[in-house]
Structure 1
Amino acid sequence: MNLPLHEACMSNNLRKAQEIFNDSPQDLYQKDADGRIPLHWAVSFQSEEIVSFLLLKMVDVSVDNYKDESGWTPFHIACAVGNLYIVTNLYERHEKPDLNLPTNQGVTALHLAVSKKHTKICEFLLEKGASVRVKDKRSQLPLHRAAAIGSTSMVDLLCKAGSPINTSDAEGWTPLFHALAEGHGDVAVLLVQHGADPDLETSDGSKAVDFAVNDEVKKYFLRNIS
């Protein structure tokens, strides 16, 4: 189905978006096949002027009420994309988005920003009160993701914000397991410095070091925590 306002948002055509809205203001909340309203796409394509225009027409409307088929709101998308200007615009409203609102997979805005290594977005979310303790449907905290992608800055940020460090996910893995399994020895050492327990075991008695991607990472880790 052809949805002109959605297309104008995707093509970052502000004038066209304004014309369409003036002719058909009801299109502002029309959903496409993905369950997305125009704002979803304006955010996704980082059409900053269009985002600002649409938000002016959505006064006293909570973006949390507009989830797509995956449970993503425009705020989730903004945090995944990493555009601080748009994230701030979406947040600084009378009806502020719920920073801990989960998607269908239990993922929060912080999970998404961490996964994409958007440090500035993570700092913004934490400053505004986002929780570091929310688990997704795999029982993973944002810290699990930060460890898996090998981001020392993100791990440091989350640990200093009070993230649980020795929490296991659905596989029985703490963030330390993920760091070593992905070959991030420096992140693994940093986690131990923040309080990660290298002696924690899975149900079969394995420790995090047993999952180190290779001997080089294993030796580096053991040498630097001794």
Structure 2
Amino acid sequence: MAAVDKKGRIALVHILARQVSWDIFKYLLDHCIQSDVRDANGVHIFNMQDQEGKTLLYHAVSYGRLRIVEFLLDHEVDPTVRDYCGRFPLYNAVLLRHSAIVYALVKQRPDTINLQYCVTGDTPFSVAATLNNVELVRLFLNNGADLGLKDEAGCTVIAKTIIKESCAALQVILNYANQRGIEVVNNVTGNGWNALQCALMKDNVEIFRVVIEHMVGNSIDPSMTRESLIKLKQILLTKHKTIIELDVFEAAMFHNHSKINCFLHECEKLYDLKMEDTMRSRENNWLLNILQNNNVM
């Protein structure tokens, strides 16, 4: 059973690829346990790696064989073993969207959620987030996902979801962070940008609004509190350096973000105010008028 082909693959991998029934495959797995099948170096057949570094568990994940994955995990197969490209079973399961297998792997070894793919620095959590897989994002958050981990480019999961425009996942992560008082919007990229600066690189109103409302701590609507108006003023008037230093209004114009510009104009209409020229002085700023009209100043 421990004999390998030219690619270093054991017979079980080939049988797995043929999609044989669970009963037959379990019989073979039981035989390997009872006979304690190992290679010449004493490595158990379940943990043997082929020429790509892939184990039987890795292949079972790739083929979506949940019961085989569960069996191997129950028999202490190591789910942290990487192939020679640096990938590991949970990372692979998320990429392939095998949700049931992801649940099984997390149940057995939740610590693998924060393992990083050595090439990019991505984790199963960040991959699920960029794929906008809200179900898996929630699973990972509830099992210890690290919101502060950075990839090889220095980006956190917040930056990555903004860049990939994964709005639903971003909302879930920000809500989770807000409920637990976790700061996640500052220093989210390798060059020190915050989440708002990232959002201003995309003309995506949904993403922009989610970030702004998280930073304000309130929905942008007529029911905004005095405290939220103060925060909104500070956020929108603060100069942020992307290419050059601009505030939010100026940045939206500079990047020709028509959708975000429309959103800002809708804010203007919401408060029934007139907005001066976008490249305006602070004295004529429409937000200052809002604050003055609401006795915030």
Give CA-to-partner distance per residue, 1:73-122, whole Å, 9 cap, x none.
212222333333212211223x5533222220222221111121211111
| Partner SS, residue 241 of structure 2 | coil
Which has the higher Rg, Structure 1 or Structure 2?
2
Q: Which has the higher contact order (CA 8 A, sep 6+)?
A: 1
| Partner SS, residue 113 of structure 2 | coil
| Partner SS, residue 92 of structure 1 | helix
Structure 2 vs 1, CA of residues 14 and 137 (structure 1 numbering), >3 Å: closer, same or farther? Answer: farther
Of 144, 154, 172, which aligns to 2:159? 144
2:204 aligned with 1:189, yes or no?
A: no
AA matched with 1:223: H
Q: Is the 8 A contact 2:62 2:96 kept in 1?
A: yes
Which deviates further from its counterpart, 160-169 or 10-19? 10-19
Structure 2 vs 1, CA of residues 186 and 92 (structure 1 numbering), >3 Å: closer, same or farther? Answer: closer
Q: Any gaps of 5 or more consecutive residues in structure 1?
A: none
Q: How many residues align?
A: 222
Of 232, 242, 267, which aligns to 1:202? 242
Q: After TM superposition, list the pairs within 5 Å mapping 1:56-75 onto structure 2.
A: 56=74, 58-59=75-76, 61-64=77-80, 66-75=81-90
Q: Distance in 2 between matches of 1:179 and 1:190?
A: 10
Q: Any gaps of 5 or more consecutive residues in structure 2?
A: 1-5, 39-43, 178-182, 217-234, 269-297
Q: Is the 8 A contact 2:130 2:164 kept in 1?
A: yes
> Residue in 2 aligned with 1:120?
135
| Partner SS, residue 195 of structure 1 | helix
Q: Is the 8 A contact 1:9 1:50 kept in 2?
A: no
Q: Distance in 2 between matches of 1:34 and 1:211?
A: 50
> Residue in 2 aligned with 1:47?
65
CA RMSD of aligned residues (A): 2.9
> Residue in 2 aligned with 1:98?
112
> Residue in 1 aligned with 2:48?
30
Structure 2 vs 1, CA of residues 172 and 206 (structure 1 numbering), >3 Å: closer, same or farther? Answer: farther
Of 174, 193, 199, which aligns to 2:194? 174
Of 185, 188, 193, which aligns to 1:165? 185
Which deviates further from its counterpart, 142-151 or 170-179? 170-179
Of 110, 124, 132, which aligns to 2:125? 110
Give CA-to-partner distance per residue, 1:12-58, whole Å, 9 cap, x none.
334564465436564322212321112112112322222223323x3
- TM-score scaled by structure 1? 0.81
AA matched with 1:63: P
AA matched with 1:220: C
Q: Distance in 2 between matches of 1:207 and 1:49?
A: 54
- TM-score scaled by structure 2? 0.64
